[in-house]
């Protein structure tokens, strides 16, 4: 393959389970490579396993790719639509002496493998049907047959992996693998070559668990007199126990991370660093990933999945995400509503809250008491001021002064919030410090009860100095009044 060949890559998931993050990482590396070289990113649904393939999994795969922003350029290919073509090509290879019909039963094949193991040989098919002159009418009364590749018995099959370099396999160690089973279902190694040729795939980028499949596929390319793609085999993603992540583990499915409140760009940022690096940079935009991605910096060894790092990366991306977008996600994915307050107010709250949360799913609880118009029910029994009556009197008098001064600001400005009247964090800070000095209080003594009653929460991720300017003053006043009445 030369440098002028258009880059065409594919992501080819099997719809037998939810889209796993390992699959997303494979799709991502394909997507980045295509975008980097102005190529095409295609998607093929490998649904020949009719017993396990389900539409709900196909829908999940496509919806997850859409959520992640990895859109494919050309129509989807479904392997289930191509059975007649697979059979036609297999028959053609038989006619050319490059494949043959195998009438052995599964039990006979397994018995021959066990015998080879007893003899200290590598277990494989014993090739008893290899030279039967490809009969189509059956052998010894048997009508059912599989179709096997007539793999070379001598020599070496080699290819240059874009990540690992030269890889070679002695042909004597390779089996006459099945192309089409006796029930008519084609196997992965056969259909993947037929389909990659049909899609004009230039580069096959996949996990390194497929390395042993590659010589079988190379044989088929050569048998069909077709140009081979370039191969790149990615390191596996390992769990913290250093074992391969399971596709059937719901906690590692893409959908699970969306429900937890991860941003798609954060998940992609995390996954791109599992096996690839660009210096010491940890945080990437999608445009940066496309710009910097190359195979020279993809590692060979497995990459360990670190949930804590993913959480940190998500938190960093949350800080940079517009509050308007986060509000949209809260509504769409978490059913969040705010009928009593404006969207502008909620986005202002999110602007402050997103600095401290790590997951979007944390925001609804933080917003709940801040997005109601009245004063929430608060248990202030444990406040320190209840233990010092004289101090409690001073604090209430100080709050009354604050209410009076802010009432005057709102009346003069004719607005609904202090911020609209030009009062922000710095001005609130100065005003509260002025008042506590007037009453001989410590700032914390004054703000502790106010924070509880204004936020409605014992622990809030938004500071009082940030909240007072943006909350509608009528709401602030109602909450401070409830503080005075406690």
Tell me if residue 309 is catalytic: no
Q: How confident is the model at residue 253 (pLDDT cuts 50, 70, 90)?
A: confident
198: closest CA among 94, 294, 88? Answer: 88
Write out pLDDT tens, residues 25-66. 999 999 999 999 999 999 999 998 888 999 999 999 999 999
CATH of domain 83-188: 3.90.800.10
Cβ contacts of residue 295 below 8 Å, gap of 6+? 33, 162, 163, 232
**For the chain, counts of helices (H) and of strands (E):** 18, 12
pLDDT at site 155: 97
Cα separation, 39 vs 198, whole angstroms = 16
Please write down the long-range contacts of 226-230, taking CB distance under 8 Å and 24 or more positions apart.
Answer: 226/197, 227/1, 228/1, 228/159, 229/1, 229/196, 229/201, 229/202, 229/203, 229/204, 230/1, 230/160, 230/162, 230/202, 230/203, 230/204
Residue 271: both structure tokens together: 């996954």
> With DSSP H G I counted as helix, E B as strand and the rest as coil, what are the percentages for the chain, rounded to 5?
50, 10, 40
Cα separation, 153 vs 171, whole angstroms = 6
High-pLDDT (> 90) share of the chain, %: 84
**What is the residue whose two structure tokens read 């500071």?**
463
Residue 165: both structure tokens together: 């370099």
Write out pLDDT tens, residues 393-448. 999 999 999 999 999 999 999 999 999 999 999 999 999 999 999 999 999 999 99
Q: Are 35 and 250 in contact (CB under 8 A)?
A: no
Cα separation, 476 vs 417, whole angstroms = 9
pLDDT at site 3: 58
Cα separation, 465 vs 486, whole angstroms = 22
Cα separation, 202 vs 10, whole angstroms = 9
Q: Model-level pTM greater than 0.85?
A: yes
The arrangement of secondary structure in 384-484, i.e. its CATH architecture, is: Orthogonal Bundle (1.10)
Cα separation, 83 vs 95, whole angstroms = 19
Cα separation, 11 vs 44, whole angstroms = 6
- For residue 260, is pLDDT > 80? yes
The separation between the first and the last C-alpha atoms of the chain, rounded to the nearest angstrom, is 79
Mode of pairing for the β-strands spanning 146-149 and 203-207: unpaired
pLDDT at site 398: 97
pLDDT at site 251: 59
Which helix (H) or strand (E) segment holds residue 313: the answer is helix 307-320
Residue 91: both structure tokens together: 């028959």
Which helix (H) or strand (E) segment holds residue 238: the answer is strand 237-238
**Mean pLDDT across 255-275:** 96
Cα separation, 74 vs 464, whole angstroms = 53
Write out pLDDT tens, residues 148-190. 999 999 999 999 999 999 999 999 999 999 999 999 999 999 9
Q: Point out the catalytic residue in the list 200, 247, 396, 415.
A: 247
Cα separation, 216 vs 218, whole angstroms = 5
Q: Where are the domains of the chain?
A: 83-188, 322-371, 384-484
pLDDT at site 477: 97
Biggest CA–CA distance in the chain, Å, is 107
- For residue 246, is pLDDT > 80? no
Cα separation, 424 vs 426, whole angstroms = 6
Residue 81: both structure tokens together: 């639509």
Q: Give φ, ψ of 158 to 5 degrees.
A: -130, 155
pLDDT at site 254: 92
Q: Give φ, ψ of 301 to 5 degrees.
A: -80, 160
Write out pLDDT tens, residues 132-159. 876 777 777 788 999 999 999 999 999 9
Write out pLDDT tens, residues 295-343. 999 999 999 999 999 999 999 999 999 999 999 999 999 999 999 999 9
**What is the residue whose two structure tokens read 């977008």?**
325
According to DSSP, residue 244 is labeled B
Q: How confident is the model at residue 102 (pLDDT cuts 50, 70, 90)?
A: very high
- For residue 250, is pLDDT > 50? no
Cβ contacts of residue 33 below 8 Å, gap of 6+? 7, 9, 39, 203, 205, 293, 295
Q: Are 64 and 259 in contact (CB under 8 A)?
A: no
Mode of pairing for the β-strands spanning 230-234 and 203-207: parallel
High-pLDDT (> 70) share of the chain, %: 98
């Amino acid at each position: 393959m030369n440098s002028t060949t258009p880059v065409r890559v594919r992501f080819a998931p099997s719809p037998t389970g939810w889209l796993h993050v390992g699959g997303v990482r494979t799709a991502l590396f394909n997507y980045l490579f295509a975008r980097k070289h102005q190529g095409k990113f295609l998607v093929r649904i490998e649904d020949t396993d009719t017993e396990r393939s389900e539409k709900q999994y196909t829908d999940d795969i496509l919806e997850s790719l859409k959520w992640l922003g990895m859109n494919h350029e050309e129509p989807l290919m479904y392997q289930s639509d191509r059975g007649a073509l697979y059979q036609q090509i297999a028959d053609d290879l038989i006619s050319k002496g490059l494949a043959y019909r195998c009438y052995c039963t599964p039990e006979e094949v397994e018995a021959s493998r066990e015998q080879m193991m007893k003899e200290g040989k590598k277990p494989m098919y014993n090739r008893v049907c290899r030279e039967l002159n490809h009969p189509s009418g059956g052998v010894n009364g048997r009508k059912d047959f599989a179709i096997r590749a007539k793999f070379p018995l001598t020599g070496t099959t080699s290819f240059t992996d874009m990540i690992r370099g030269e890889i070679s396999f002695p042909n004597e160690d390779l089996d006459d693998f099945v192309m089409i089973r006796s029930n008519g279902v084609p196997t992965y190694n056969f259909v993947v070559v037929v389909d990659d040729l049909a899609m004009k795939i230039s580069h096959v980028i996949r996990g390194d668990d497929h390395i042993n499949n590659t010589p079988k596929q190379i044989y088929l390319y050569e048998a069909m007199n077709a140009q081979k793609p370039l191969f790149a085999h990615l390191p596996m993603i390992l769990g913290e126990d250093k074992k391969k992540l399971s596709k059937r583990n719901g906690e590692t499915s893409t959908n699970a991370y969306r429900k937890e409140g991860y941003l798609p760009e954060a998940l992609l940022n995390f996954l791109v660093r599992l096996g690839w690096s660009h210096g010491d940079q940890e945080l990437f935009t999608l445009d940066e990933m496309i710009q910097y991605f190359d195979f020279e910096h993809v590692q060979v060894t497995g990459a360990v999945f670190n949930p804590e790092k993913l959480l940190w990366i998500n938190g960093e991306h949350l800080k940079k995400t517009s509050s308007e977008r986060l509000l949209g996600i809260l509504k769409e994915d978490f059913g969040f509503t705010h009928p009593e307050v404006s969207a502008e107010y909620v986005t202002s709250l999110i602007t402050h809250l997103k600095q401290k949360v790590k997951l979007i799913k944390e925001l609804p609880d933080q917003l709940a008491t801040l997005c109601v118009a009245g004063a929430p029910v608060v248990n202030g029994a444990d406040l320190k001021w209840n233990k010092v009556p004289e101090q409690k009197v001073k604090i209430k008098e100080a709050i009354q002064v604050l209410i009076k001064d802010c009432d005057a600001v709102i009346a003069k400005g004719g607005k609904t919030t202090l911020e609209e009247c030009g009062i922000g964090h710095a001005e609130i800070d100065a005003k509260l410090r002025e008042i506590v000095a007037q009453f001989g209080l410590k700032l914390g003594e004054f703000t502790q009860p106010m924070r509880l009653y204004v936020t409605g929460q014992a622990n809030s991720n938004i500071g009082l100095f940030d909240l007072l300017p943006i909350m509608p003053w009528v709401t602030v006043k109602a909450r401070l009044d409830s503080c005075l009445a406690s």
